[in-house]
Amino acid sequence: AQKLIEDYEKTNTPSIVMYMSLLSGARNNRNSNLSEKIYKRMKTLFPNAKEILAAGVVLLSNIYSSLGKHEEAKTFRSNQIKELGVKVKVGLSWTEIKGHIVQLKAHDHSHPQSTEIYA
């Protein structure tokens, strides 16, 4: 995929969508070295695409976490998001429980049983 992008860019304008796809593939393979190179290239080519770069930060920090590098993931994410000057939006999802739609929010500790949930 990386070679395909390099060949494409010989005659076309770079595409951030292609880079995000490549980064996602590297994440699926838990390849932190390739992911770092892709993210750095994205920052160079698309310095003003702050929201998309923030998504790249999340992907790369998830790779670090999946490799057990939790402190590195936390530090990288915090530093890069601060550098980009963006705010990461909280992940939301919805599900139906006993006929009622329930909204779930990432890292939400407002549930009365959150102590047990996060134990």
pLDDT band at 6 (very low <50, low <70, confident <90, very high): confident
pLDDT per residue as tens digits for the range 70-108: 999 999 999 999 999 998 777 788 889 889 888 888 777
User: Can you tell me the distance from the alpha carbon of 20 to that of 15, in angstroms, rounded to the nearest whole number?
Assistant: 9
Q: What is the pLDDT of residue 31?
A: 84
Model pTM?
A: 0.71
Is 90 exceeded by the pLDDT of residue 114?
no
